[in-house]
DNA sequence: CTGAAAGCGCTTACAG
DNA sequence: CTGAAAGCGCTTACAG
């Protein structure tokens, strides 16, 4: 910067003024300065600027993992929304490990991020008090279980998604549904139940089969097999995420049941592979990217208006995409 | 820091000494300082330290996307390897867009990252001169096409993977193979051809079907259909990545050909869903995480020993995982 | 082993 | 509109 100033015949304060644009400078002076910048290939040193201004133009993002389509899209959309405003992304995958999250939090704090977005129920805000030095806003997104309440949250109406799936099955005449449920998916199941309750039907606890988070496709296959064995009269399977639904499709095939003729399968999450499975999967599609975009905008808003209270927007509505894996209840 | 010093009755230089451990301090003094740090909840300000030392303990990672299993694993493994040494990760997904990459590069430069890892052929180092201010080491990984040569690269022996697949098919007696090839997968195809050439057979260009990068599963289905239509006597399909192989499996089913009885299918990439497809996919497994780990270690080595030349390690060998989608050539 | 001083590269009031 | 000065929170030789 000093070099640029010398070359342009001004002081570095003037250079700073043209770079930041905070103070107007005479056009001809500005031209000289810009010329010097180009000739010298000067790039402002953001770490020095950060020390002076207190803003790093960097935000942290916590996700449990990046290996699922859902979180991969959250990451990409967050990065895009950030980039549009000149921010960069410090990525932290927590792997649902509290110790790891704590370490990352300390790292982000000492690096003075301007804000932090925590995506996915991670049980962090409850257990994880922010370090003393943490003076940045925090926003939560993709939150499904009880809300911590300490932070604004941009999330999806997961219960509505379940309700859409349930109503769809009811409209097709299904009365006996089994559920393959991942952990923390209580709202999705509650929505399905509400749709059945709307018609005076109950989905008993015995029809809900829980699958551990890490079980993956194999877990879906096993759970679907168990569900069909437990109640052979089941005519529909509702999976609380698409990996489980894909497993259900395979288990149905293995059991010699044709989808959707003998059995309907409805998924949840709109995994990009869903439309291409055979049969193409009917399922609940989530406004993932929209959610991530809004969350970043909320966070950046809080960054630039420190004191002001930020309102939590209403949960975003999912949609039901009807494809080929669901059909009318088979006639007994 | 000043507060800590005051509370411990020393100067801040002494506090710095105990925090960095660079200069030994008397045990009792150190104890007083540590106590003050704990009481005040002091966290060192890394941006100030960075300005003073020139090191940010942050590295940039360029990936084309984060929505494929391959790159998701690269990101997670890189983050792990970085975290072990106290580094944080600035993630940039380039989406194979030069303009976007250029912008990110400028951002990383002005943020003074300590190093940059570029994963995946991105045609960047050729077209993208580093900004003048960029004084950090760059390492490439997962590079498959011609190497830029300007930077060390940690990659995989992609040609060997193709050879393993080809030898496997030859051992099963296959003579007519069709190839579904993604762009930039020339080495994988070359390896397959070499295996056939080892036995005096040729894989003609007409048997190689190119699929655009963005075509996904639908592209694989279409290409496989085209391949089977072009040469109905084909007994084996080699796909240069698993999404294409999954498409091939579906196209085979649609065409009424049973895998592996009528047709063998071999994939490449070891997508986690491969073992769970029906039939389970035979394919080439890549040492993705090992590669990412080594790349970060190489990069961090270059960071801490600026002048020294870094050697490019030999490409990592893939492995063939034989599952159920490949079998003996059907008898004519 | 500890303290006083300079400096990292910027920005920000504050005079002129 | 431009220049001189102080300061952001650290580290680093350099004396004592």
Q: What is the DSSP pairing of strand B282-285 with strand B319-321?
A: antiparallel
CA dist., res. B202 & res. B207, Å (int): 10
What's the confidence (pLDDT) of residue B98?
87
The answer to the question of residue B332 being in a domain is no
B223: which 2 tokens?
């290409």
Write down which residue in A269, A285, A301 finishes a domain. A285
Mark whether A279 and A295 lie in a shared domain: no
Mean pLDDT, range B147-161, rounded to an integer: 90
A243: closest chain B residue by CA: B273
Q: B32 and B62, same structural domain?
A: no
Estimate to the nearest angstrom the gap between the alpha carbon of B84 and the chain centroid.
Answer: 19
Distance CA B113, CA A45 (A): 11
Q: In what order do the strands lie in the sheet with A153-154?
A: A153-154, A138-141, A115-119, A58-63, A88-93, B88-93, B58-63, B115-119, B138-141, B153-154
Residue B306 maps to a domain: yes
Task: Give the confidence band of A122 by pLDDT, cuts at 50, 70, 90.
Answer: confident
**Residue A125, pLDDT score:** 57
Identify whether residues B18 and B92 lie together within a single domain. Answer: no
Give residue-wise pLDDT tens across range B273-314: 777 788 899 999 999 999 999 999 999 999 999 878 888 899
Asked whether B229 and B257 are in contact (CB, 8 A), the reply is: no
CB contact under 8 A, B90 and A93: no
Nucleic strand D contacts from chain A, 19-78, CB < 7 Å: 23-26, 29-30, 48, 51-52
- CB-based contacts of A71, cutoff 8 Å, min separation 6: A63, A64, A65, A119, A120
For B241, the token pair is 């990545």
A228: pLDDT strictly greater than 60: yes
Query: Are residue B104 and residue B149 in the same domain, yes or no?
Result: yes
Residue B218 lies in a domain: yes
With H, G, I as helix, E, B as strand and everything else as coil, classify residue A319.
strand
A24-75 tens-digit pLDDT: 788 888 888 888 888 888 889 999 999 999 999 999 999 999 999 999 999 9
pLDDT tens digits, one per residue of B203-214: 999 999 999 988
Could you say which DSSP state residue A71 is in? H
For residue A51, being part of any structural domain is answered with no
Cα→Cα distances B85→A177, B3, B311, Å: 50, 29, 21
Classify residue A321: in a domain, yes or no.
Answer: no
Residue B129 has a pLDDT of 67
Q: Answer whether A276 sits within 8 Å of B221, measured CB to CB.
A: yes
Q: Residue A123: pLDDT above 70?
A: no
pLDDT at B257: 96
Tell me which chain B residues have a C-beta less than 8 angstroms from the C-beta of A105: none
Is B39 a member of any domain? yes
Residue A330 burial (C-beta neighbours within 10 Å; 0-12, 13-18, 19+): middle
Q: Which CATH number goes with the domain that contains B204?
A: 3.40.50.2300
Neighbouring-strand partners of residue B58 = B88
Burial of A152 (0-12, 13-18, 19+ CB in 10 A): buried
The values of phi and psi at residue B308, to 5°, are -60, 140
- Average pLDDT, integer, range B212-231: 92
CB of B12 under 7 A from strand D?
Answer: yes
In this structure, the answer to whether residues B254 and B185 fall within a common structural domain is yes
Range of the domain at B40: 2-44
In this prediction, residue B125 has a pLDDT band, given cuts at 50, 70 and 90, of: low
Among all chains, which residue has been given the structure tokens 């694989």? Answer: B220
Tell me, yes or no, whether A16 and A128 share the same domain: no
Residue nearest C5 (alpha carbon to C1'): B13
Same-domain check for residues B105 and B145: yes
Mean pLDDT in residue range A260-264: 97
The verdict on a CB contact (< 8 Å) between A43 and B93 is: no
Choose the closest CB to A67 out of B56, B73, B218.
B73
And the tokens for B186? 């020339």
Q: Give the count of beta carbons closer than 10 Å to the beta carbon of residue A95.
A: 14
Identify whether residues A162 and A280 lie together within a single domain: yes
- Structural domain contains residue A330: no
Least confident of A88-92, B136-140, B193-197: B136-140
DSSP string over B128-157: -PPPTT--S-EEEES--SS--SSS-EE-B-
What percent of chain B clears pLDDT 70, i.e. is strictly above it?
97
Torsion over CA: A60, A64, A67, A73 (sign): negative
Tell me the backbone φ, ψ of residue A26, rounded to 5 degrees: -60, 135
Give me the sign of the Cα torsion angle B251, B256, B258, B261: negative
Residue B328 lies in a domain: no
CATH code at position A8: 1.10.260.40
Chain A positions in Cβ-Cβ contact with residue B72 (cut-off 8 Å)? 65-67, 72
Alpha-helical regions (H) of B201-324: 216-230, 242-254, 288-304
Q: Is the model's pLDDT at B332 over the cut of 80?
A: no
Strand C bases near protein CB (under 7 Å) are 1-5, 7-13
CB atoms within 10 A of CB B322: 13
B151 and B171 inside one domain: no
pLDDT at residue A219, rounded to an integer: 93
Total domains in chain B come to 3
What average pLDDT does range B128-145 have in this prediction? 84
- Same domain membership, residue B165 and residue B270: yes
Q: Which helix (H) or strand (E) holds A89?
A: strand A88-93
Give yes or no: residues A244 and A292 share one domain. Answer: no
Name the β-bridge partners of A117: A61, A139
Q: Is the CB of B49 under 7 A from strand D?
A: yes
Query: Terminus-to-terminus CA distance in chain A, angstroms?
Result: 82
Averaged pLDDT, B164-180: 98
Helix axes B27-40, B12-20, angle to 10 degrees: 90
| CA-to-C1' span, B311 to C13 (A) | 52
φ, ψ for residue A261, nearest 5 deg: -60, -50
Backbone angles phi, psi at A116, to 5 degrees: -140, 130
Contacts with B324 (C-beta within 8 Å, 6 or more apart), sequence order: B260, B279, B280, B281, B282
A242 and A311 in a single domain? The answer is no
Asked whether residue A129 carries a pLDDT value surpassing 80, the answer given is no
Q: What mean pLDDT value characterizes chain A? A: 92
């Amino acid at each position: 910067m000093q070099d640029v100033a010398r070359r342009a015949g001004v002081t570095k304060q003037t250079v700073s003024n043209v770079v930041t644009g905070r103070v107007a400078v005479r056009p001809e002076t500005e031209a000289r300065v810009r010329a010097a910048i180009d000739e010298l290939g000067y790039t402002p040193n953001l770490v020095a600027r950060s020390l002076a201004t207190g803003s790093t133009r960097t935000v942290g993002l916590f996700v449990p993992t990046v290996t699922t389509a859902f979180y991969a899209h959250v990451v990409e959309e967050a990065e895009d929304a950030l980039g549009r405003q000149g921010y960069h992304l410090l990525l932290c995958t927590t792997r649902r490990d509290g110790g790891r999250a704590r370490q990352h939090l300390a790292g982000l704090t000492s690096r003075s991020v301007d804000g932090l977005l925590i995506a996915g129920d991670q049980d962090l805000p409850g257990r994880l008090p922010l370090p003393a030095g943490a003076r940045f806003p925090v926003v939560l997104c993709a939150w499904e279980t009880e809300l911590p309440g300490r932070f604004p949250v941009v999330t999806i109406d997961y219960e509505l998604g379940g309700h859409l799936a349930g109503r769809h099955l009811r409209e097709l005449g299904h009365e006996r549904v089994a559920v393959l449920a991942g952990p923390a998916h209580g709202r999705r199941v509650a929505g399905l139940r509400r749709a059945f309750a709307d018609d005076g039907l109950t989905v008993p606890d015995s029809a809900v089969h829980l699958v551990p988070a890490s079980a993956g496709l194999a877990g879906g296959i096993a759970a679907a097999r168990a569900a069909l064995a437990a109640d052979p009269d089941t005519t529909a399977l509702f999976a609380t995420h698409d990996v489980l639904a894909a497993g259900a499709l395979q288990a149905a095939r293995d059991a010699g049941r044709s989808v959707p003729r003998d059995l309907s399968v409805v998924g949840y999450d709109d995994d990009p592979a869903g439309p291409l499975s055979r049969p193409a999967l009917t399922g609940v599609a989530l406004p993932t990217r929209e959610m991530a975009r809004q969350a970043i905008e909320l966070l950046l808003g809080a960054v630039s208006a420190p004191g002001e209270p930020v309102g939590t927007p209403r949960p975003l509505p999912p949609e039901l995409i009807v494809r080929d894996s669901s059909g009318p209840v088979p006639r007994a």
